[in-house]
Structure 1
């Protein structure tokens, strides 16, 4: 089945499609083509103003967080089921239904009319009639609408919380139903914007933000970070333009704090993009080599570091599988992973994930970790981290590595470096439903002198 049919070329009647909704349709096509959500958003919303960008983000992220429930609602109202229609049209129905059911600021006539017009432009008159009938029925029934609850407990959880059933089963076997339900809830809560001061102390940054009318809040376990109030156009803030802050989820900050590198260290961050951990490392390091093998990601890192006038940073193009550097004091490998700890921030990831990814990424993680070990000085530190919750990508990788490389030993940081409740047998383990942050894992390993 094709992703997008040839646009309908007949007479166009009805309201013109807004730039915001056209951007949404193009973003969803990008996602189906394999682009990641953040990249698709940046690509398609560049011409929009800050208010429209926030609206697009609310709609697309919200639809993806509720897609399972929306599909159950649509399945009852599309003859033959939603799986039988074109995938692009299915996405248009999802965003139309989400506006009707979840976005009170959108008048029903706009949600329906705009979706119908998009369906007509992209698929023809028949698709527009289907969209019109389905969405008008949803609008009529919105006060009582509730999809049938599956008899299977895991299927019901998957539908209610909009996660693939196999993911729900996997987590319930590990944690049990109640804890899994809490994790699913956490994944569907919008992620906060949390910033770190750069070149200023926290109090100065807080004053700058308050001067711009931005509400700030303390962040548990990470005292220097500030959580921003909702609806902030971050890139429009003076503090952002002046390079006084960068965005970093507390889980990423905790990874660097857990690493607890010695003052004055030379550090190689071998999988550095997008670069916030490398920035955090400069607080104690004398030099950080921020490496990535992808030139586009390196360029983006350099732009970000340039805005901050970052010192003690050297950006290089390098493959973590073949790190062409001399041994250094500390090596950090934040390896590519399934990202199951970041489903709240990247809701597209839950629908993109496949069972086979664990084997493919696990093999890559193993190779990167062993390559990184070769450029750690005797007596130095090797820090492995992921944003995954999965044992295969975390504990199992460390257990296998330590068995194969006896010159390395797991070494927890000194007491008080990070909160006790994020430590687990010497490793860092951050869980969204326990700590309110993205999920993260890290292991700190010392090479024998």
Structure 2
């Protein structure tokens, strides 16, 4: 998508400025993100529908770029204005800053001219003059090489320090660089039919990279159920669990349901009980909406049941009262976590995380693991997985489980830890626990 932005600039600001452009839409998204700290995925759900496909992609690209590089763009603006500008003007400067960072010195003049012209329409002539003066200084600052990793790769200092202690400086640099790159889109092929040539094969069986230029085809294939957009890292926990035809399986933290569907596609026949926390009264949860949609796409031979409950607060009586099994052949616990393995996709996670979150997550994950273990029948399988690369949410949780009485009937059969810089996809941890027969 980077080339679309540059091509628009090279053709001149007016050529790149339709009545309602992706640039203007991005300004609104950045303004709301700065003012309200709303989640990126929530903001994108409300992106204007009157944008063309190309302009929508441009809006997302610019918005994502600002969020990815926010702290570096903020640092480039620091001290340049006597008074803080309106949030809308700051959004214009942040987008211009990202385009300057992305385009380099060769595009500086065009980026600044374009930002000034946009500021005249979304702000005021006076504020456009401010944008002109400040953007030129931002351009000079962005040319200078940062002196530390946190500034260079726009991550919180405490998180860079944590990773440096755990991984070392060289590996931390690789992780930071990975996080700052736009993520490819991958699709899992679901049906017995020839795969279209525009889906590029990958080294992961069943997964294909979605290249630009075929989004209408992708949308159609997704609606038809031929593909499911999913990162290859999701296969790790499914491969460990190895769902079998005819089994009864519990997906203990199921929303939004991508892994439930993956298991159903693998099984072909059997039953999946998908459980996730209930939504608070009066509120909606897009994840549960998507869970229902995904379960509806399961193969005809797989019976599905959707249950809204807190895994740690219900007992076997709860399942019995719903005419559901009280124990299962296999249980998947894909636990809520810090998302440190998927920061290339969840670009605002690093700005919401706090240092104490890892210990808090670890405690919650251990509680969930204890609850999930009670639902595995003798000889059954339990897979604990996260999309975290942090030991406090992976190995430490498993160790604490086996240090407790609950771990007695189980054996750690196998574990997989994927790191983005080495494996080429999202990071994840997955652990296969087998219960004594």
TM-score bracket for this pair, using the shorter chain length: 0.7 to 0.9
What secondary structure is seen at the aligned counterpart in 2 of 1:68? helix
2:181 is the alignment partner of 1:219: no
Distance in 2 between the 1:100 and 1:194 partners?
29
Deviations 1:277-328 (A, max 9, x none): 1111111261111222245322222224446776523323222223443211
Deviations 1:100-128 (A, max 9, x none): 442569864333322454344xxxx7655
2:392 is the alignment partner of 1:395: no
Of residues 236-245 and 190-199 in structure 1, the stretch that sits farther from structure 2 once superposed is 236-245
Equivalence for 2:143: 146
Partner of residue 159 from structure 1, selected from 128, 147, 151: 151
Give the structure-2-normalised TM-score: 0.82
Distance in 2 between the 1:224 and 1:185 partners?
27
Distance in 1 between the 2:31 and 2:296 partners?
32
Equivalence for 1:407: 408
Alpha-carbon distance, 1:22 to partner: 4.4
**Per the alignment, do residues 382 and 74 of structure 1 end up closer, same or farther by CA in structure 2, a change over 3 Å counting?**
same
Deviations 1:189-225 (A, max 9, x none): 2211111112325xx1x23xx3xxx3x32222x2111
Distance in 1 between the 2:24 and 2:294 partners?
29
Contact 2:225–2:297 (8 Å) recurs in 1:
yes
2:292 is the alignment partner of 1:302: yes
Contact 1:116–1:132 (8 Å) recurs in 2:
no
Q: How many residues align?
A: 398
Equivalence for 2:246: 264
Contact 1:394–1:441 (8 Å) recurs in 2:
yes
2:65 is the alignment partner of 1:62: yes
Partner of residue 78 from structure 2, selected from 50, 75, 83: 75
2:233 is the alignment partner of 1:251: yes
Distance in 2 between the 1:432 and 1:280 partners?
21
Alpha-carbon distance, 1:361 to partner: 2.1
Equivalence for 2:273: 289
Deviations 1:145-193 (A, max 9, x none): 523533xxxxx11111111111111111111111111111111122111
Q: In angstroms, what is the RMSD of aligned CA positions?
A: 2.9
2:275 is the alignment partner of 1:275: no
2:116 is the alignment partner of 1:112: yes
Structure 2: gaps of 5 or more residues: 1-13, 280-284, 320-325
Structure 1: gaps of 5 or more residues: 1-13, 151-155, 413-425
Alpha-carbon distance, 1:394 to partner: 0.9
